[in-house]
Amino acid sequence: MSNRPTPIRAIIFDLGHTVWDFAPRDDAYKLNILRLHERLLAWDGGDVPAPKLLGRTLSKAIARWMSVWDSDVLEQATSDVLVSEALADAGLSPPPDVISDITTTLFGREIDMPYVEPDTLATFDSFHTDGIAMGCVTNTILLEEGINDALMRLGLLRYFRSVVASSSMGFKKPHASLFQRALCELDIQPEEALFVGDRLVDDVSGAQAVGMRAVLTHQFRQEPLDGANVEPNAVISRLAELPDAIAAIERGASYP
């Protein structure tokens, strides 16, 4: 019986700093705050804080949320909870339908428009042509519809049969539920799948814990391996190297 590793039939990607990087757009954020202000006026019609104060209140709420994000706590409140908490800080308690509208306004679309390198697009097209199933799992406060919108604008949506966002799951990576949902939606076994991400704990160890193989990319972030308790199956400098890395993994060889 051969000890050759199981061939890879599916690839699941992290998004931010893996598939894409960001070009910040401060003007888009300000526009969303104005939309938030208008929706609150339509609901209350009275004592609604000025847009600048609303923006500061939301920024403080996001900063609190990010402090939890950077901790070891895996539970993640849904984005509407974040909005509710931010508005409560401003002395406002809108009903659920208003909270839903505001959440969609703020997090239903990626305001920091991601960009993708041309050789990444070519790599995705090659995998698609070869019949490799693809999906993504991302830690984000953006709604899944916002992730789908960004994927569509970048021409990537047609490649992904599964899109999993922590904002809808109640947990963030490396919690097993996110990886397991992607595997289920792709109808693939863990040993047949490869995960690609830029973080050793969230991406590599999270994927390996459910039985997947995992590749660390240094294209946009260079997380060091020195002293880490996690060992990726391969380390790549760009996603364009992924086909060669997969070939090495399937041979049972190291890469690079």
Closest CA to 185 of 127, 148, 135: 135
Is the preceding peptide bond at 174 cis, omega within 30 degrees of 0?
Answer: yes
Residue-wise pLDDT tens digits, 210-243: 999 999 999 999 998 887 899 999 999 999 999 9
pLDDT: is 175 or 53 the higher one?
Answer: 175
pLDDT given for residue 24 in this prediction: 65
CA 183, chain centre distance (Å): 16
Q: Are 111 and 36 in contact (CB under 8 A)?
A: no
pLDDT at residue 137 tops 90: yes
Is the predicted pLDDT of residue 1 greater than 50, yes or no? no
Averaged pLDDT score across all residues of the chain: 91
Task: Kindly state the tokens that stand for 14.
Answer: 């992290």
Other CB atoms within 10 A of residue 63 CB: 9
**The pLDDT value given to residue 248:** 97
Residue-wise DSSP of the chain: ---PPPPP-EEEE--BTTTBEE---HHHHHHHHHHHHHHHHHHH-S-PPPHHHHHHHHHHHHHHHHHHHTSS--B---HHHHHHHHHHHTT----HHHHHHHHHHHHSS-SS-EE--HHHHHHHHHHHHTT-EEEEEE--SS-HHHHHHHHHHTT-GGG-SEEEEGGGTSB-TT-HHHHHHHHHHHT--GGGEEEEES-IIIIIIHHHHTT-EEEEE-SS-----TT-S---SEEESSGGGHHHHHHHHHHT----
Q: Is the pLDDT of residue 131 over 60?
A: yes
Residue 210, pLDDT score:
98
Question: pLDDT at residue 2 above 60?
Answer: no
64-106 pLDDT per residue, tens? 887 877 788 898 888 899 899 989 998 999 999 999 998 998 8
Span 26-79, pLDDT tens digits: 777 787 888 888 889 899 777 888 888 888 988 888 888 878 777 888 988 888
Q: Which residue has the higher pLDDT, 42 or 207?
A: 207
